[in-house]
């Protein structure tokens, strides 16, 4: 690989003098190769590291879980042995301590329990308040067992006796140095008996060798290259594969917290980093911890990284060599282009690189052609307008003549069907009109769809311009779709609504002027069709109807005088509908509109004559309309305002009107045909207004008021008259006796007959 690098370097140096652009591109291409390789390499490396850490952590957790499960099983076996001992009739407190013979029998029984479990070094039976301990080997005095016999280093005789007297569950102590035992340290496990009894009479003491626990661990973990600890709930080391005082187990357990059941982390011990994996047993309360040095785990990764770096360097060198070869092949055309540019410029680009030489040559040519372009640019709009104007005026009899005349300014038609559209930009002022129209025309000419050609000419009013269109067929759909898109674009780019009048389509160039007249006429028809749309000349029609009905206008005037808002809106819709439905000429449409205005003015004159001093609506705004829709909106607003004011004028005489209404009801309530509508017609009022007004003034509807009036009259006649029910019903205006009886019972809680008998019996003549 080193030889390859030397060869590439020599080749680069011996390739001759090159332009700075050559080496700049060479380095940039090498960077393009190197950056992805480095990024991918780093990504793969760190991903591999994370994957390896997860694998190590997962593997250690699985092994620790197996160790925990096996130790828990062994502890369960010891609990079962303790239970069996408590249930053995030969090992009860009485039998075990009865005499010397029974004591020997107790030792034999305990030996049987110990012999069946290789995990047990010695099993000891303790009876409370008894001076002797019985084990699978012998019997011992209680007060000498820990201090003189086993000689535990950290488990004093006093602490031993205190642990025997405790009654709260099992006790599993860390491994203890015992002078009596040569096989290593002892792990004591004390189980009160009877098993899980609240008041135990003794204990079973299992003495386990630390070596047996280590064998369990090694059988699972084998040589995984780390150390394993078993710690109790207080952080004391029960046992470990290797003694290592650097690891602060109590501090570690405190940092992970009592709630953590399993997990992994990293620690630093003696300047080295270690992976720490732990798992906690809920059965014994022990925590199983493994320590694995990171350097040991990462050793394969380091080797892989070295090989990967070597491969990356080789790839970069090989890629650089290939890039250099390709650059040489691609540089020659650039060099030839430089020489050609110098030939065109007529001079050598001394001291300049290839791109600069080409730039100078192009700049010279650009400067030489700039004058020609400026001249053409200044003359092109005028020439274009002249050619289009001649076509519109009919001075060109065929399209070939037009195309020849317009070739110098880029104007010509390939289509064989022609029409003219007149655009009106709503709201365009005189100051900005010319520039906006030029921009809109330029935009339209650039954005016509395939199959549609067009050119604009600004020769009309401030907010209008013409657009000549040519297509390959006479179909209107393509043109309408194109114009619709242009209208949307004009709104989106310049915020002007546009109305378009589209003339008829002709196949001869001589008739284009006629299409222009038709387009202008169609645009004027926006009064009827409305603004902000496309109006085709073929759709407007020019027939004048023989007249129109004035009933709708009369109804509108009546509704205004009555102040009926709903009726006003209904009448307005009917009048506006006359224009849309019949399709009259512009003259007739304007006539209907002005009749509508005068209809509204008449109630205003009446209000002034009555001395109403409230400010009147600005009726002059009615004349500032261009479409029927605008007129409808303005008329509706002002008509409703007039109706409201007339209504307020009428309601200012509320008391007199209220008395008039009540008087009418009292005079006609006995009429079977009495109704709200008959009352409204008799008083020249709208039924809805009468009903609403009466409810506002009395708190009752007309029907409720009539019903109460009829019931009061019926009770008066029942108390004072002799009319039968049939005659009484006719006098008060009910439809039938059954209807009257039902309503009377609902109101009074009794029938009319019961009411009459009640008052006749009591001789009462007062009102009920």
Percent of the chain residues past pLDDT 70, beyond the cut = 77
Q: What is d(CA 691, CA 704) in angstroms, rounded to the nearest whole number? A: 11
DSSP for 368-409, written as a single string: HHHHHHHHHHHHHHHHHHHHHHHHHTT---SHHHHHHHHGGG
Q: What is d(CA 72, CA 441) in angstroms, rounded to the nearest whole number? A: 91
Q: What is d(CA 627, CA 723) in angstroms, rounded to the nearest whole number? A: 69
**For residue range 571-614, what is the model confidence (pLDDT) as tens digits?**
877 777 776 665 555 545 655 665 676 677 666 666 554 444 44
Which residues face 251 on adjacent strands?
Answer: none
SS3 category, 19: coil
Predicted pLDDT at 622: 43
Backbone angle region of 230, left / alpha / beta, with phi > 0 → left and psi within -120 to 50 → alpha: beta
Identify each DSSP E strand in 29-177 by its residue range: 122-127, 132-135, 139-141, 171-172
**Residue 667 pLDDT > 70, yes or no?**
yes
Q: What is d(CA 474, CA 463) in angstroms, rounded to the nearest whole number? A: 29
**For residue range 138-159, what is the model confidence (pLDDT) as tens digits?**
888 888 888 888 888 888 888 8
Predicted pLDDT at 376: 58
**Residue 317 pLDDT > 70, yes or no?**
yes
Predicted pLDDT at 653: 59
Q: How confident is the model at residue 544 (pLDDT cuts 50, 70, 90)?
A: very low
Predicted pLDDT at 545: 45
Per the model's pLDDT, the better-predicted residue between 644 and 718 turns out to be 718
Q: Among 185-194, 227-236, 425-434, which stretch is predicted with the lowest mean pLDDT?
A: 425-434
Q: What is d(CA 537, CA 628) in angstroms, rounded to the nearest whole number? A: 18
With a CB cutoff of 8 Å and minimum separation 6, the contacts of 553 are 575, 595, 596, 599
Q: How confident is the model at residue 19 (pLDDT cuts 50, 70, 90)?
A: low
**For residue range 25-35, what is the model confidence (pLDDT) as tens digits?**
777 777 887 78
Q: How confident is the model at residue 167 (pLDDT cuts 50, 70, 90)?
A: low
Rounded mean pLDDT of the chain? 76
**Residue 6 pLDDT > 60, yes or no?**
no
Identify each DSSP E strand in 14-159 by its residue range: 122-127, 132-135, 139-141
Q: What is d(CA 632, CA 630) in angstroms, rounded to the nearest whole number? A: 5
Predicted pLDDT at 352: 60
Cβ neighbour number for residue 491 with a 10 Å cutoff? 13
Q: What is d(CA 768, CA 761) in angstroms, rounded to the nearest whole number? A: 14
SS3 category, 206: strand
Among 361-365, 391-395, 537-541, 715-719, top mean pLDDT goes to 715-719
**Residue 672 pLDDT > 60, yes or no?**
yes
With a CB cutoff of 8 Å and minimum separation 6, the contacts of 757 are none
Q: What is d(CA 198, CA 343) in angstroms, rounded to the nearest whole number? A: 113
Terminal-to-terminal C-alpha distance of the chain: 125
**For residue range 441-456, what is the model confidence (pLDDT) as tens digits?**
888 888 888 888 998 8
Per the model's pLDDT, the better-predicted residue between 432 and 669 turns out to be 669
Q: What is d(CA 472, CA 451) in angstroms, rounded to the nearest whole number? A: 6
Cβ neighbour number for residue 445 with a 10 Å cutoff? 15
Question: Strand 534-536 relative to strand 497-502: parallel, antiparallel, unpaired?
Answer: parallel
Long-range own/partner contacts, residues 237-242 (CB < 8 A, 24 or more apart): 237/174, 237/175, 238/172, 238/173, 238/174, 238/175, 238/187, 238/213, 238/286, 239/174, 239/175, 239/185, 239/187, 239/210, 239/213, 239/214, 241/214, 241/217
- Mean pLDDT over 64-88 rounds to 83
Q: Which of 145, 192, 140, 197 is nearest to 164 (CA)?
A: 192
DSSP 203: E
Among 69-73, 275-279, 492-496, top mean pLDDT goes to 492-496
Q: What distances in angstroms separate CA 267 from CA 248, 270, 287, 682, one per listed residue?
A: 10, 10, 17, 103
SS3 category, 509: helix
With a CB cutoff of 8 Å and minimum separation 6, the contacts of 659 are none
Whether the Cβ atoms of residue 731 and residue 723 lie closer than 8 Å to each other: yes
Q: What distances in angstroms separate CA 151 from CA 53, 114, 135, 139, one per listed residue?
A: 45, 22, 16, 16
Q: Among 382-391, 456-465, 519-528, 593-602, which stretch is predicted with the lowest mean pLDDT?
A: 593-602
**For residue range 358-387, what is the model confidence (pLDDT) as tens digits?**
777 677 667 666 765 666 566 677 778 888
Q: What is d(CA 361, CA 300) in angstroms, rounded to the nearest whole number? A: 62
* CB burial readout 88-102, b (16+ within 10 A) else e: beebbeeebbeeeee
Q: Phi first, then psi: give them for residue 459, nearest 5 degrees.
A: -140, 25
Which residues face 208 on adjacent strands?
Answer: 187
- Mean pLDDT over 324-333 rounds to 74
HSE of 202 in the Cβ direction (CA atoms, 13 Å)?
24
- Mean pLDDT over 692-706 rounds to 84
Q: How confident is the model at residue 13 (pLDDT cuts 50, 70, 90)?
A: very low
Identify each DSSP E strand in 98-201 by its residue range: 122-127, 132-135, 139-141, 171-172, 186-193
- Mean pLDDT over 457-473 rounds to 82
**For residue range 336-353, what is the model confidence (pLDDT) as tens digits?**
777 777 676 666 666 566
Q: Which of 258, 300, 391, 252 is nearest to 55 (CA)?
A: 300
Predicted pLDDT at 617: 42
Whether the Cβ atoms of residue 584 and residue 595 lie closer than 8 Å to each other: no
- Mean pLDDT over 226-234 rounds to 78
**Residue 433 pLDDT > 80, yes or no?**
no
**Residue located via tokens 């001649």:** 390
Tokens of 340: 């050609």
Confidence (pTM) = 0.38
Predicted pLDDT at 394: 66
Would you call 766 exposed, middle or buried from its count of C-beta atoms within 10 A (0-12, 13-18, 19+)?
A: exposed
């Amino acid at each position: 690989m080193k030889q390859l690098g030397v060869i590439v370097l020599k080749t680069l140096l011996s390739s001759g003098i090159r332009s700075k652009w050559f080496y700049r591109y060479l380095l940039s291409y090498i960077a393009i190769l190197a950056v992805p390789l480095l990024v991918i390499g780093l990504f793969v490396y760190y991903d591999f590291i994370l994957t390896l850490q997860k694998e190590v952590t997962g593997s250690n957790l699985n092994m620790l879980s197996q160790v925990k499960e096996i130790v828990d099983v062994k502890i369960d076996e010891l609990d079962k042995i303790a239970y069996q001992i408590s249930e053995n009739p030969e090992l009860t407190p009485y039998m075990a301590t009865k005499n010397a013979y029974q004591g020997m029998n107790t030792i034999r029984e305990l030996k049987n329990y110990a012999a069946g479990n290789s995990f047990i070094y010695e099993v000891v039976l303790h009876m409370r308040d008894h001076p002797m301990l019985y084990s699978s080997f012998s019997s011992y005095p209680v007060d000498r067992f820990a201090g003189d016999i086993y000689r535990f280093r950290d488990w004093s005789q006093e602490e031993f006796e205190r642990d025997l007297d405790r009654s709260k569950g099992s006790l599993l102590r860390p491994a203890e140095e015992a002078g009596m035992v040569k096989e290593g340290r002892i792990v004591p496990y004390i189980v009160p008996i009877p098993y899980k009894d609240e008041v135990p009479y003794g204990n079973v003491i299992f003495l386990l060798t630390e070596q047996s626990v280590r064998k369990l661990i090694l059988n699972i973990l084998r040589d995984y290259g780390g150390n394993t600890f078993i710690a109790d709930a207080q952080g004391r080391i029960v046992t470990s594969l290797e003694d290592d005082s650097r690891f602060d187990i109590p501090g570690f357990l405190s940092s992970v917290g009592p709630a953590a059941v399993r997990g992994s982390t990293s620690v630093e011990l003696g300047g080295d980093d270690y992976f720490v994996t732990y798992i906690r047993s809920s059965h014994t309360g022990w925590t199983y911890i493994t320590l694995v040095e990171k350097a040991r785990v990462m050793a394969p990764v380091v080797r892989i990284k070295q090989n990967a770096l070597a491969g990356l360097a080789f790839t970069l060198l090989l890629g650089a060599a290939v890039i250099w070869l390709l650059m040489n092949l691609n540089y020659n055309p650039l060099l030839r282009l430089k020489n050609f540019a110098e030939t065109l410029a007529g001079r050598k680009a001394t001291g300049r690189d290839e791109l600069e030489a080409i730039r100078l040559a192009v700049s010279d040519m650009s400067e030489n052609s700039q004058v020609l372009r400026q001249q053409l640019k200044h003359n092109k709009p005028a020439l274009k307008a002249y050619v289009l104007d001649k076509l519109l005026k009919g001075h060109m009899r065929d399209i070939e003549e037009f195309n020849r005349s317009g070739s110098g300014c880029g104007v010509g038609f390939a289509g064989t069907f022609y029409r003219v559209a007149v655009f009106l930009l709503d709201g365009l002022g005189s100051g900005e009109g010319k520039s906006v129209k030029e921009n809109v025309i330029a935009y339209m000419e650039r954005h016509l769809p395939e199959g549609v050609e067009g050119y604009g000419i600004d020769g009309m009013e401030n907010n209008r311009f013409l657009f000549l269109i040519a297509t390959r067929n006479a179909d209107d759909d393509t043109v309408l779709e194109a114009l619709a898109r242009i209208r949307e674009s004009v709104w989106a780019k310049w915020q002007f609504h546009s109305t378009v009048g589209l003339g008829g389509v002709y196949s001869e160039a001589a008739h284009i002027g006629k299409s222009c007249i038709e387009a202008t006429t169609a645009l004027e028809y926006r009064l009827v069709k409305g603004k902000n749309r496309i109006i085709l000349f073929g759709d407007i029609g020019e027939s004048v109807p023989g007249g129109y009905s004035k009933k709708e206008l009369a109804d509108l005037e009546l509704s205004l005088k009555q102040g009926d808002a709903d009726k006003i809106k209904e009448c307005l819709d009917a009048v506006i509908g006359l224009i849309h439905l019949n399709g009259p000429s512009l003259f007739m449409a304007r006539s209907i509109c002005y009749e509508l205005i005068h209809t509204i003015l008449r109630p205003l004159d009446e209000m002034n004559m009555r001395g109403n001093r409230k400010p009147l609506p600005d009726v002059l705004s009615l004349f500032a309309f261009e479409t029927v829709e605008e007129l409808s909106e303005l008329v509706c607003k002002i008509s409703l305002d007039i109706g409201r004011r007339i209504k307020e004028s009428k309601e200012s005489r509320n008391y007199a009107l209220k008395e008039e209404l009540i008087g009418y009801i009292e005079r006609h309530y006995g009429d079977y045909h009495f109704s709200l509508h008959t009352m409204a017609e008799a008083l020249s009022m709208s039924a809805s207004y009468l009903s609403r007004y009466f409810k506002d003034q009395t708190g009752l509807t007309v029907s409720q008021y009539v019903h109460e009036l009829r019931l009061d009259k019926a009770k008066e006649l029942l108390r004072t008259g002799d009319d039968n029910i049939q005659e009484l019903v006719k006098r008060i205006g009910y439809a039938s006796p059954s209807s009257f009886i039902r309503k009377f019972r609902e109101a009074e809680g009794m029938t009319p007959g019961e009411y009459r008998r009640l008052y006749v019996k009591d001789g009462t003549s007062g009102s009920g």
